Amino acid sequence: MRVLGIDPGSETLGWGVVEGGGSKYLPVGHGVVKSNTKHAFSKRLKNIYDGVGEIISQYQPDVVSIEEAFFSVNVSSAMKLGQVRGIVLLLAEQHGISLAEYSPRLIKQTVVGHGNADKIQVQEMVKLLLGLKEIPHPHDAADALAAAICHFHHTGTLSSVKGR
């Protein structure tokens, strides 16, 4: 199974592709889709659509594992994050790719061992779990790889709970 993990962001969207099965997996690729904050938000959304579309075409994932939206004090930021997530959800549907959504807390708990882990702890554990020579940069890419790893650990329980 090949999983595309996504850490949604309107300025920097992290992505990471991991391949394997069960709790055994290998890194395939990771990076970010950067958007110019000086551009209109609609243009940034198109950039994200095009960038994630290219990643899907290149890596042909079986599943997209995306971080769920979390509650934010800043309503504007939460709305923008929701729109970015909508773009990724749409792309998964258009390409016939299964979709899994995990809370940021569950991703951290799965990868690090506790849900309050900081960015450095996530990066270090992703490096260790994937056997990378160095921690993935930027942290958005590490978070995306963590979302993909999370899917491998929860895929059996999710399918039985959600009837997938």
Report, as residue numbers or ranges, the catalytic residues. 7, 67, 140
Tokens standing for 82? 């929701």
- Residue 11, Cβ neighbours under 10 Å: how many? 15
Both tokens of residue 37? 């904050």
| Among candidate residues 131, 135, 134, 129, the one with its CA nearest the CA of residue 110 | 129
Nearest CA to 125 among 142, 106, 144?
142
CA distances (Å), origin 69, targets 17, 85, 106: 20, 8, 12
